[in-house]
A and B are shown apart, each in its own frame.
Chain A
């Protein structure tokens, strides 16, 4: 079975501060890992993805994530957050030949001035 755990339900960060959102996964083979962002009332937008190769992946809007196989983690980071980053963030896992993408429960990010 495949699963994703996002241990932080809600995180509050000051504008300009750094951000790290945690994601742990369980997958029986080589995982494909994704981070999506969802603004209120909107669909989901892909921030970045990891299939193979360099374990540090760069995404849109200044986000990056690091794949650590030994820790089954794929944490999302941003060095300096902007008020527009306030949203719900979902980590997801899939794999080769697997049509099912499994999402974590999400982390809601609030930005304070």
Chain B
């Protein structure tokens, strides 16, 4: 199994809603990542979890709250978002933390629209 599975694929939410994005991998990878990608732009790193601990937060606003319940799961909790937060949110994993770990395996993303 070489997949990273993201749910939901599409999400529409109001600015007062609370929702969560979920990511799952069963490759035994020990690093997991959240990236944000706006239309026609490259992915931008948001968070990195290494061995289930948050190792990088790229100064992301607190309305985005990551969680790593175990080595296979990664959540992104969303609250009080703004319309400019509308984007494709990509989850990725790698065998070991750091780019020396080699390939990042990406999910297909969750497309978020904030009204």
Contact A106 B108 (CB under 8 A): no
Residue A17 CB within 8 A of the other chain: no
Are the CB atoms of B98 and A96 closer together than 8 Å?
yes
Interface bin, chain B: 20 to 34
Contact B42 A101 (CB under 8 A): no
Bound complex: CA A102 to CA B58 (Å): 12
Question: Do B100 and A105 touch across chains, with their CB atoms under 8 A apart?
Answer: no
- With a cutoff of 8 Å between Cβ atoms, the chain B residues found around residue A72 in the complex are none
Q: Is the CB of B99 within 8 A of A99?
A: yes
CB–CB A94/B99 < 8 A: yes
Interface of chain B residues 45 through 86 with chain A (CB within 8 A): 45, 48, 50, 55-56, 58
Cross-chain contact A98 with B42 (CB below 8 angstroms): no
| A57-B56 Cα distance, complex, nearest whole Å | 30
- Which residue from chain B places its CB closest to the CB of A46 in the assembled complex? B103
A36-44, A62-70, A74-82 - the one binding chain B: A36-44
Closest to B42 in A: A103
Tally of chain A residues near chain B (CB < 8 A): 25
In the complex, chain A residues whose CB is within 8 Å of the CB of B56:
99-100
The 6 A-B pairs with the shortest beta carbon distances in the complex, nearest first, are: A94-B99, A43-B106, A103-B42, A44-B106, A43-B108, A46-B103
25 A–B contacts, CB within 8 A, in A order: A32-B99, A32-B100, A34-B103, A42-B108, A42-B109, A43-B4, A43-B90, A43-B108, A43-B109, A44-B92, A45-B106, A46-B103, A51-B100, A94-B99, A94-B100, A95-B99, A99-B50, A99-B56, A99-B97, A100-B45, A100-B48, A100-B56, A100-B99, A103-B43, A104-B42
Chain B residues proximal to chain A, CB less than 8 Å: 4, 31, 40-45, 48, 50, 55-56, 58, 90, 92, 97-100, 102-104, 106-109, 111
With A106-B40, A106-B41 known, 6 other A-B pairs at CB within 8 A are A49-B102, A94-B98, A95-B99, A99-B97, A99-B98, A101-B45
